[in-house]
Structure 1
């Protein structure tokens, strides 16, 4: 009873902490999960390269899938990731999505649009529920999870786990990740709620398809609310179509044309941390085996 799957990291258009409405877009950085089920009744796990990592989320994802589709199985889950942890690039959502799909595969439950299959939105909501169980998210992060699972850019109502819109986008993306890390569950929700008027403006822009403008407004508002510098975004604005603090930080993501983003890269590479170029993805998460 073995399954493997991969899901995508993502960048932020709108942080959902202020109003419960959020928006994110998938990027070409993958997390893979390998699940082996047995009759032990208990689930263990590990994260490749991070022996001290908290595995509550991925273990709870396996448990949630087994509770719904299995027969009391336990087993082992292991994740490997190109998405840096606690960097605002939706590593938890990617790990949850990949683990849910891998567990479904291990149980021989089909995933897709056929009548007898579990659709990707349903699989995504299982991971979101597990994230709430594990306490790794404040909002439930359906915005992040839906972008990771479905690909493209999504706008969601996280209070209802409702998908408000989804659209394909074709951007190059430049990511700067400083050495510091920030965990979503530790974010100052009260300060974020103070920028709710700006968040509502960002939601209107996103629902109107003006994603790049939306993410720039979001980035300025939430950088201020969460105590991150706006200098990287200001450096990018003359060249990028949009730029934002991603999630609750600390990463900053700029989108646009590669030739323009290379000019931003020249500035960002002077900063401490990692700067890397990628692209958006529209295909979403997938079962590997």
Structure 2
């Protein structure tokens, strides 16, 4: 007898405007992805997984899957990911979305996007893997494209596809110290201005302003950002709270910017932007 199984695919994202200062953020989907496979094995109990973060995973599972199933099945979770963890590239949001989506598929034919996202976001808050719940991150990972959200109210304000000809060069710097992220809240007006630019569709100006603000407050490491701007990227910013730096470029400028950024101490990742929605099988 075939064991009940579901496999979800969710994508990564980068920041356009950081949400910590105002509760409102903007994010852009990228093609790095996470896959979560969940299998139920009747007759046993327990949860097995090939990754850490017990609190987050257990909260999602116990929120979605009824006790009568949990008490009569062994749950096996296998996760594969292209997204480096701990760099601000929304790996936690992608993972929580992927597990939430796969869990809902096991118990329901009709899956509601809002339920998947709310479970992932609320569980992230409960497990303290996010300051705001990262609804902006969750939306970009789940829907793709550009997303603007009010994280406090879990409201999707605006979403639209992005030009598929765009790519993102991600720089993972070595030996960079990050300041206190709560200091971002002292600069609400400036982050609110960046968000207003994004609302108007001026995404690259908003992202550049976000990059300057994050760098000034948390890092004081201007050289990679200036290098990206001087090599004709559309926009460059720290993603999330960093330390990853993401530069948006057209395809024909990828090699030029990669060559320039290789002068700095760190690792480069190249990803196309993503407009595809998460899916489950």
Q: In structure 2, which of residues 143, 157, 160 is the aligned counterpart of residue 167 of structure 1?
A: 160
Name the CA shift for 1:6/1:126 in 2 (closer, same or farther; >3 Å). same
Q: Structure 1 residue 227 and structure 2 residue 219: aligned?
A: yes
Aligned match of 1:243:
236
1:177 maps to what in 2?
172
- Counterpart of 1:31 in structure 2 is 34
Cα distance, 1:283 vs structure 2: 1.0
Instruction: Say yes or no: does 1:206 pair with 2:198.
Output: yes
Aligned to 2:185: 193
Q: Is the 8 A contact 2:28 2:273 kept in 1?
A: yes
Q: Which runs of 5+ in 2 are unaligned?
A: none
Pick the aligned partner of 1:45 from 39, 45, 49. 49
Q: Is the 8 A contact 2:181 2:218 kept in 1?
A: no
User: What TM-score results when the alignment is normalised by the length of structure 1?
Assistant: 0.87
Q: 1:143 to 1:35 in 2, by over 3 A?
A: same
> Which structure 2 residues correspond to residues 269-288 of structure 1 after superposition, within 5 A?
269-287=262-280
Shift of 1:194: 1.6
Deviation at residue 14 of structure 1 after TM alignment: 0.7
> Aligned Cα RMSD in Å?
2.0
Map 1:136-147 → 2, pairs under 5 A: 136-147=129-140
Query: For the residues of structure 2 that align with 1:177 and 1:191, how far apart are their CA atoms?
Result: 23
Structure 1 runs (4+) deviating above 6 angstroms are none
Give the counterpart of 2:144 among 145, 151, 157.
151
The answer on whether the counterparts of 1:23 and 1:153 sit within 8 Å (CA) in structure 2 is yes
Q: CA deviation at 1:45?
A: 2.3
How much has 1:77 moved relative to structure 2?
A: 1.8
1:46-90 Cα deviation digits (max 9, x unpaired): 22xxxxx333223322222215xx744262322110000001100
Aligned-partner Cα distance in 2 for 1:222–1:187: 10
Q: Is the 8 A contact 1:9 1:83 kept in 2?
A: yes
Work out whether 1:118 is the aligned partner of 2:72. Answer: no
Q: Is the 8 A contact 2:148 2:158 kept in 1?
A: yes
Residues 235-269 of structure 1: CA distance to partner in whole angstroms, max 9, x if unpaired?
11131111110001111111121222432211211
1:72 and 1:180, CA in 2 relative to 1: closer, same or farther beyond 3 A?
Answer: farther
1:26-53 deviation digits (Å, cap 9, x = unpaired)? 1010011111235656434222xxxxx3
Aligned residue in 1 for 2:55: 56
Q: What CA distance in whole angstroms lies between the structure 1 residues aligned with 2:30 and 2:194?
A: 20
Partner of 1:134: 127
Compared with structure 1, are the counterparts of its residues 86 and 256 closer, same or farther at alpha carbon in structure 2 (3 Å cutoff)? same
Separation in structure 2 between the aligned mates of residue 259 and residue 3 of structure 1, nearest angstrom: 38
CA distance in 2: counterparts of 1:103 and 1:258, whole angstroms: 37
Aligned length: 271
Given that residues 224 and 264 in structure 2 are in contact (C-alpha distance below 8 angstroms), is that contact kept between their aligned partners in structure 1?
A: no
Q: Does the 8 Å contact 1:44/1:59 carry over to 2?
A: no
Q: Which has the larger radius of gyration?
A: 2
SS in 2 for 1:199: helix
Aligned partners of 2:137 and 2:176: how far apart in 1? 18
